[in-house]
Structure 1
Amino acid sequence: MESIIGALGPLFLLILLGALLGRGPWPDGDFWSRLEGLIYYLLFPAMLVATLAEADIRAVPVARLALVLLGGLLLLAVGLWTLRPRLGLGMPAFTSVFQGALRFNTYVGVAGAAALHGPAGATVAAVAVALMVPLVNVLCVLTFLAAGTLGRGGVGASLRALARNPLILACLAGAGLNLSGIGLPGWSHDAVTLLGRAALPLGLVAVGVALRPQAVLRRDGGLWTATLIKLALLPALVLGLATLLGLDAVSRDVALLFAALPTATSAYILSRQLGGDAELMAALITVQTLLAMLSLPLWLRLVA
């Protein structure tokens, strides 16, 4: 347990640092929104390209990892829609609950995998991102569509945004460079690697900036339903599938880590833009991120 806390503790401290910086007088203006854009569109994609371009992807059980992660997400999505009438939520609130249960904080996931298992963990995490990001985005767009919060323009814009998603494009580029045997030649290796190294610490600080501590006081059935599903039910489901399919220890730990992650901070922007309950989404992001600081080490300790 001490080694798990030792690996994840610094990550949580950076998130808490971001929470403090985001509420201080400096830096002000639109600094944080611009920084988040830089991380999302440049630094994090550079890290994914650097990881995938020269990693031994053949050492990752991609098919079984896909069955575990994507199977868990699909089962959860079907279950949520089946239970929707019993949740007693309006459609805007349900879209936020759906996002809160399925989306995951990529920065915490990749940083945690690297901290726990080094380069091997980072490679499996990059593969997990490549598998999960497209499916989660498609499922969430379909949910907004079924909820009736998207107009014709909203559907087209969402699909175009999915096609231009920098994380998906970075995973495709990194995998293409790897499979072609080109890798990252010459100075490009060091340049892209240096860019990627800045992604995780800055990304974790940006996660903290996005937190809304007052949301913890919100009494809302949807808030706690989505949090219970995200931090307890989905990890248990994924761990069961990983055990059933015999994933190796590193792949199992990374799959469990990604299943137990708090929801993504970007879900708030999507909720606001696509007609969801943005305030509920902000509360979900905050509560799950804070509670995950306790639940993540416990889940990983279970399989240690």
Structure 2
Amino acid sequence: MDLTTSLNFSLSITGPICVVLILGIVLKRLGLLPDSFTEAAAKLVFQVTLPALLFLSIVRTDLDAMPSPWLIAYGLAGTLIGFLVLELLAARFIGDRRLRGIFVQGSFRGNMGIIGLAYVQNAYGQAGLGGAAFFVGAVTVLYNILAVITLTRSLGGDPGLKPIIKGIIKNPLILAILAALPFTIFGVQMPQLVLTTGSYFANLTLPLALLCTGASLSLKALRGGAALTGYATLARLCAIPFLLTLGGWFIGFTPLELGILFLVSSTPTAAASYVMTRAMGGDSVLAANIIATTTLGSLVSTSLGAALMNYLGLMG
């Protein structure tokens, strides 16, 4: 495939996201996206519009066209292995114990629910979004468990197993996916009124979430911890997506599956990592640094990676 065509393809994935993120920054400076609005909108996305998007994506997906369930199993295994490797590296090379969990979480915990789904939607439309929804839901559960484990080991405390299980059971994204499964498996048709109303909420998700992400970015927070921030950024944006995609290619996943795997694994660090770090009394500045650098860096690394994969015919 022509290199120019591949570059245009990659820009069609990341370009709109970059524009909306920049708009979020500009609107914040103009006073149109105050902190109170951003905080309320983020809750609306997580509790209402994103679950609606995942629910409708799965309901509208043909199971015969779904990516292999082995892709989800591979994503879970790859995430767990990556987490264990990062834990070993942090214990070996990071002297300050309290920084280890923040580094590990910032490296493995990607923002798949917002930016990952946006990447997939721009690349494959509805067909890819339904398959990615299952992947995102499964890996999100593992993300939450591993994040609690690494921060607890690093910062101290013992939350116990019960709060983790309770948090997973009450997670709106997981509930939306589970609610959609019977409709997809048994072919139950949803009333058009429900589909249309749900679409109104679902269509709000990505633009609203990306605007809030842009408004929440603070380059002023980039101070101190430059080395750890750099290492976490390289792990999040380069090492993890490269190794996961390479492993998937060796296993023999289809180009569509490889594309989904690459796009959801090349996402920046999830904003929830900052919230958890701050709540547990960790270095929230380091957490914010990692989120900011990976969010901006992901636009470049994903564009280049998508262009290369498309040029090689590995993205379907």
In which range does the TM-score fall when normalised by the shorter chain? over 0.9
Query: Does the CA-based 8 Å contact 1:92-1:275 persist in structure 2?
Result: no
For residues 102 and 35 of structure 2, the distance between their equivalents in structure 1, rounded to whole angstroms, comes to 28
Correspondence for 1:167: 173
Cross-structure match for 1:135: 142
Alignment CA distance shift 1:30-1:86 (3 Å): same
SS in 2 for 1:7: helix
Residue of structure 1 equivalent to 2:313: none
SS in 2 for 1:22: helix
Aligned equivalent of 1:48, options 51, 54, 73: 54
Alpha-carbon deviation of 1:273? 1.2
Q: Deviations along 1:221-277, whole A, 9 cap, x unmatched?
A: 221111111111101111112101211111111100111110111211111113332
- Tell me if structure 2 keeps the 8 A contact 1:45–1:170: yes
| Deviation for aligned residue 1:36 | 0.6
- Kindly provide the CA deviation profile for residues 112-139 of structure 1, in whole angstroms up to 9, marking residues without a partner as x: 1011111112112212212210111111
What amino acid sits opposite 1:13 in the alignment?
V
What is the CA–CA distance in structure 1 between the aligned matches of 2:164 and 2:13, rounded to whole Å?
A: 36
State how far apart, in whole Å, the 2-side matches of 1:224 and 1:276 are. 18
Contact 1:68–1:241 (Cα < 8 Å) also in 2:
no
Question: 1:147 pairs with 145, 154, 159, which one?
Answer: 154
Report deviation, 1:160: 2.1
Amino acid at match of 2:79: L
Give per-residue Cα distances to partners, 1:134-180, cap 9 Å, x unaligned. 1111111122232353344x764444222211111111112232123
2:275 to 269, 275, 279: 269
Write the mapping of 1:173-192 to structure 2, written as runs, cut at 5 A. Answer: 173-192=179-198
Displacement of 1:24 after TM fit? Answer: 3.3
Output the CA distance in 2 between the equivalents of 1:223 and 1:57.
41
Task: Give the alignment of 1:56-71 within 5 angstroms.
Answer: 56-71=62-77
Assess if the C-alpha contact under 8 Å between 1:235 and 1:260 holds in 2: yes
Query: What amino acid does structure 2 have at the position aligned with 1:25?
Result: G
Structure 1 residues 89 and 49, CA, compared in 2 at 3 Å: closer, same or farther?
A: farther
Cα 1:28–1:78 change in 2 (3 A) is: closer
* Counterpart pick for 1:260 among 255, 258, 266: 266
C-alpha distance in 1 between matches for 2:182 and 2:211: 31
Answer yes or no: is 1:116 the counterpart of 2:128.
Answer: no
Contact 2:58–2:130 (CA under 8 A) maintained in structure 1:
yes
- Are 2:101 and 2:155, in contact at CA under 8 Å, matched by a contact in 1? no
Determine if contact 2:225/2:286 at 8 Å carries over to the other structure. no
1:36 aligns with 2:77: no
Contact 1:44 1:199 in 2 (8 A): yes
TM-score, normalised to structure 2, is: 0.90
**Which amino acid in the other structure matches residue 129 of structure 1?**
V
Q: Deviations over 1:13-56 (max 9, x none)?
A: 10111122233323436111001101110001000000001211
Paired with 1:23 and 1:186, the residues of 2 have a C-alpha distance of 40
> Matched residues in 2 for 1:91 and 1:47: separation?
39
**CA drift at 1:83:** 1.4
Distance, in Å, in 2 between the alignment partners of 1:27 and 1:130 is: 29
When residues 186 and 81 of structure 1 are mapped into structure 2, their CA distance, relative to the original with a 3 A threshold, is same
User: Shift of residue 89 of structure 1?
Assistant: 4.2
User: What is the deviation of 1:217?
Assistant: 4.8
Q: Distance in 1 between matches of 2:92 and 2:238?
A: 20
Residue identity in the other structure for 1:30: S
In structure 1, the partner of 2:300 is: 294
Mapped pair 1:90 → 2:96: yes
- State, as a whole percentage, how many aligned pairs show the same letter: 26
- Structure 2 counterpart of 1:281, from 283, 287, 296: 287
State the TM-score, normalizing by the size of structure 1.
Answer: 0.93
Counterparts of 2:60 and 2:163, CA distance in 1: 34
| Contact 1:54/1:183 (8 A) holds in 2 | no
How many residues of Structure 1 are paired with residues of Structure 2 in the alignment? 303
Counterpart residue type for residue 189 of structure 1:
L
Would the alpha carbon gap of residues 51 and 233 (structure 1) be closer, same or farther in structure 2, given more than 3 Å must change? same
Contact persistence 1:47–1:197 (CA under 8 A): yes
Q: Is the 8 A contact 1:55 1:123 kept in 2?
A: yes
In structure 2, what residue type is equivalent to 1:9? G
SS in 2 for 1:261: coil
State the shift of 1:205 in Å. Answer: 0.8
**CA contact 1:149–1:275 (8 Å) conserved in 2:** no
Partner of 2:3: none
Residue 210 to residue 158, structure 1, CA distance change in 2 (3 Å)? farther
